[in-house]
Amino acid sequence: MKLSLSNFYKKDMKNYSPQFGFTLIEIVIVIVILSILGVGSVQFISFSAQGYVDTVRRSELSSTATIVNEKMTRLLRDALPNSVRITSDNRCIEFIPIIGASRYTQAAFPGSPSGVSQNTVHMVPLDNVLSSNGYLTIFPMSSQINSLYSGSDNPGFISLETVSFTSTVSGASVYTFNNSGSFVFQQRSPNQRVFFTSSPVAFCQSGTELFYYRNYGFIPNISNLVTNLASTVPNRLLIADKLLANSLIFSYLPSSLRRNAIVAYELELQDSSKITETLVVNQEVQIRNVP
């Protein structure tokens, strides 16, 4: 059987299927391009995630600053006039909160008639919303700030005992000093104002935390305040953490005949995961001088 060369090639071409592929250079180029795209994608995701983390961290610091300002501002605005004290290092502030107020119609003062009782105070009925379980204060205008905190040596600004409502006489509410106490107030108020107050409270920074202290009584000397403060709840409450150590500074501008008293404070907040970034808070609080 004769097979021509042309027939052989024709037969072989029928069984041939072309083979396609990539050269080594093409594969290397593809790998390089995919690597560049991969690195770019990873960096984009990483930067986006880091941006979200930074936003959350800053939001937390901002929320902490808001909580600090709200808590301290609300309480300081209700401070008894002339009762604000600040420690020598400016890290703690102490004041006497007002919990209620009215106008007295009868109270014992030096030189009062003998018929005026030293055991009771008559006043305009107190609003039911306000607390009446506190100490009484009339015209706290002492030249010495410690006089309002002197306890047993109190010269007549804040009663030594709390009072309780006992009766109504001629439309006036009568409050009697507890524990059979009596008290003679130092001086009269021009507008016959009488304040119900609680015991002193304080704000202090300790390390990176800000605490609110209460129920520790009257401390005559402000230099002894820190050593007499509680170390546990419920008399020590955490207000905020993440403070930069020793960053809280209080200052106090006493009132005058033309303006009210002003408490100013400054503090820095810092997240431990980003120590190079801080949030500085400055705030001023006006204390109405209406003794």
Is pLDDT at 153 greater than 60 in this prediction?
Answer: no
Same domain, 105 and 191: yes
Domain termination residue (choose one: 197, 232, 263):
197
Question: Does a structural domain hold residue 8?
Answer: no
Q: Please, are residues 68 and 267 in contact by the beta-carbon 8 Å criterion?
A: yes
Which of 197, 217, 244 terminates a domain? The answer is 197
Arithmetic mean of pLDDT, 239-244: 92
Q: Are residue 87 and residue 150 in the same domain, yes or no?
A: no
- Whether 159 is covered by a domain: the verdict is yes
3-state DSSP assignment of residue 153: helix
How far apart CA 139 and CA 134 sit, in angstroms, is 16
- Please indicate, yes or no, if residue 83 is contained in any of the structural domains: yes
Q: Is 141 helix (H, G, I), strand (E, B) or coil?
A: coil
Question: Which H helix or E strand runs over 65?
Answer: helix 24-77
Whether residue 109 is found in the same domain as residue 192: yes
Lowest mean pLDDT among 12-21, 73-82, 161-170: 12-21
- 74: pLDDT strictly greater than 60: yes
- Lowest average pLDDT, out of 17-21, 64-68, 78-82, 263-267, goes to 17-21
Residues 73 and 209 in one domain: yes
Average pLDDT over residues 76-96: 94
* Mean pLDDT for all residues in the chain: 86
Residue 138: Cβ within 10 Å count: 24
Q: How much is the CA Rg of the chain, to the nearest whole Å? A: 37
- According to the model, what pLDDT value does residue 114 have? 86
Does position 210 have pLDDT exceeding 70, yes or no? yes
Answer yes or no: is pLDDT of 7 > 60.
no
* Full strand arrangement of the beta sheet holding 201-206: 85-86, 92-95, 201-206, 209-213, 236-240
Of the listed ranges 11-25, 144-158, 277-291, the least confidently predicted one is: 11-25
The reply to whether the predicted model has a pTM over 0.85 is: no
Domain extent for 182: 98-197
* pLDDT at residue number 37: 76
Give yes or no for a cis peptide into 234 (omega within 30° of 0). Answer: yes
pLDDT band for position 133 (50/70/90)? confident
d(CA 263, CA 256): 14
Q: Is residue 119 part of a domain?
A: yes
* Location of structure tokens 């507008």: 191
Domain membership flag for residue 257? yes
Last residue of a domain, one of 197, 222, 254: 197
